[in-house]
């Protein structure tokens, strides 16, 4: 089989949208990452698993351009993310990546739809158009009818789905999620994970998700394990 690269003349079929190769990162004397690699295709969801302190978040930050690695390469759509300036990486994060965290961090004084519309408004879209586009995401995430609610009037699972809608509203190529179900009960977490994985797949985006929870990771197409800053890949049947 020919090797897949992101540069030119890639063979047909899945192509990596994002890849990190041989990533290394030290914090002072602590080696957070060394020889960590991860590739994700369009439409694919990859779970990053490992014990606390193994380097999962650092890997996520390097791949998403939050942190500049000390060594290795990050390629996004043919662009060397690790070589971009801080300002260009910030632009890339805004325009091409979506982020979901353990807590959605919604603004309490805005409605659910306005919270989802916020990235569009910050991108220069007028308020009416932005809210209209935000509302289109609500049925997809099982949030129909909740558009006018304030965050304080939403359950934990609903608020997290509003956070996911906000991460998706600019049609990101890659969604990064750090323990997105960490604050939810098991049943609600399962529901949120199903919606996150299926929505990302249907929109032909990609998902890189950090979790320590096997049950959450099992929902993804593939699991990459991180041990002492290194990645061990574990091929998993694509569902
Ligand atoms: P995980 O997400 O798997 O818990 P992290 O990537 O957060 O692991 O951390 C990996 C290692 O790097 C840990 O030893 C952690 O203490 C250290 N580390 C992470 N971020 C920083 C930082 N900003 N400053 C200093 N040390 C850090």
Residue 209 lies in a domain: yes
Structure tokens at 71: 């060594």
- Quick one: which atom of ligand 1 is closest to the CA of 28? 25
β-bridge mates for residue 175, sequence order: 98, 207
Domain encompassing residue 79:
18-233
User: Ligand 1 test: best mutation among 23, 25, 30, most atoms within 8 Å of CB?
Assistant: 30
Per-residue tokens: 159: 């608020």
Return the sign of the alpha-carbon dihedral for residues 39, 41, 42, 47: negative
How confident is the model over 36-73, as pLDDT tens digits? 999 999 999 999 999 999 999 999 999 999 999 999 99
From the alpha carbon of 59, which atom of ligand 1 is closest? 6
Q: Return the SS3 of 191.
A: helix
Which residue's CA is the closest to the ligand 1 atom numbered 7? 57
Between 191 and 233, residue with greater pLDDT: 191
Task: Using the predicted structure, report yes or no on whether residue 1 has a pLDDT greater than 80.
Answer: no
pLDDT value at 239 more than 60: no
Q: Which atom of ligand 1 is nearest to 229's Cα? A: 10
In this prediction, what percent of the chain has a pLDDT beyond 90?
84
Residue scoring higher pLDDT (235 or 23)? 23
Q: At 15, is the pLDDT very low, low, confident or very high (cuts 50, 70, 90)?
A: confident
For residue 126, give the DSSP letter.
Answer: -
Contact 3 CB / ligand 1 (< 6 Å): no
What's the number of domains the chain is made of? 1
Q: Is residue 50 in contact with ligand 1, taking CB distance under 6 Å?
A: yes
The CA distance from 167 to 193, in Å, is: 14
Over the stretch 153-193, which tens digit does the pLDDT of each residue have? 999 999 999 999 999 999 999 999 999 998 889 999 999 89
Residue closest via CA to ligand 1's atom 24 equals: 27
Cα(58) to ligand 1 centroid in Å equals 6
Residue 4 domain-assigned? no
Residue 143 pLDDT more than 90? yes
Q: What CATH number did the domain enclosing 68 receive? A: 3.40.50.300
Least confident of 11-25, 174-188, 217-231: 11-25
137 part of a folded domain: yes
Closest Cα to residue 110, out of 150, 167, 73, 157? 150
Ligand 1 atom with minimal separation from the 212 CA: 3
Query: Could you tell me if the CB of 211 is within 6 A of ligand 1?
Result: no
25 CA from centroid of ligand 1 (Å):
10
In a domain, 98, yes or no: yes
The answer to whether residue 224 sits within a structural domain is yes
52 lines ligand 1 (CB under 6 A): yes
- Lowest average pLDDT, out of 4-13, 38-47, 98-107, 200-209, goes to 4-13
Whether 10 is in a domain gets the answer: no
Residue 3, pLDDT above cutoff 60: no
Say which residue the tokens 């002072």 belong to: 28
Alpha carbon of residue 193 to chain centroid: 12
Q: According to the model, what pLDDT value does residue 9 have?
A: 53
How much is the pLDDT for 183?
87
Residue 9 in any domain: the answer is no
- The mean pLDDT value of the chain amounts to 91
In angstroms, the CA 98 to CA 149 distance is: 23
Percentage, residues of the chain above pLDDT 70? 91
Rounded Cα distance between 51 and 210, Å, is: 11
C-beta 227 within 6 A of ligand 1:
no
Please report the sign of the dihedral spanned by the C-alpha atoms of residue 152, residue 156, residue 162, residue 163: positive
Q: Is beta strand 16-27 parallel, antiparallel or unpaired with respect to 30-41? A: antiparallel
pLDDT of residue 181: 92
Q: Is residue 11 included in any domain, yes or no?
A: no
Burial of 7 (C-beta count, 10 Å sphere; 0-12/13-18/19+): exposed
> Given this model, what pLDDT does residue 237 score?
42
For residues 64 and 97, the answer to whether their CB atoms sit within 8 Å is yes
């Amino acid at each position: 089989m020919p090797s897949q690269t992101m540069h030119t003349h890639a063979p047909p079929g899945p192509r990596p949208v994002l890849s990190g190769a041989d990533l290394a990162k030290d914090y002072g004397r602590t080696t957070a990452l060394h020889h960590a690699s991860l590739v994700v295709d369009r439409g694919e969801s990859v779970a990053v698993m490992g014990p606390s302190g193994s380097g999962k978040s650092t890997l996520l930050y390097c791949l998403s351009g939050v942190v500049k690695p000390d060594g290795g390469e990050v390629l996004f759509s043919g662009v060397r993310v690790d070589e971009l300036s801080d300002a260009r990486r910030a632009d890339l994060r805004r325009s091409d990546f979506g982020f979901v965290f353990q807590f959605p961090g919604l603004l309490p004084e805005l409605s659910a739809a306005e919270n989802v519309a916020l990235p569009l408004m910050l991108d220069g879209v007028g308020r009416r158009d932005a809210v209209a586009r935000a509302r289109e995401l609500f049925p997809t995430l099982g949030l129909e009818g909740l558009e006018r609610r304030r965050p304080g009037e939403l359950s934990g699972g609903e608020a997290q789905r509003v956070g996911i809608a906000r991460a998706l509203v600019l049609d990101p190529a890659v969604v990064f999620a750090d323990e997105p179900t960490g604050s939810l009960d098991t049943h609600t977490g399962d529901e949120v994970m199903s919606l996150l994985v299926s929505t990302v797949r249907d929109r032909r985006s990609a998902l890189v998700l950090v979790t320590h929870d096997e049950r959450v990771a099992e929902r993804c197409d593939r699991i990459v394990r991180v041990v002492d800053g290194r990645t061990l890949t574990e091929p998993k049947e694509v569902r």
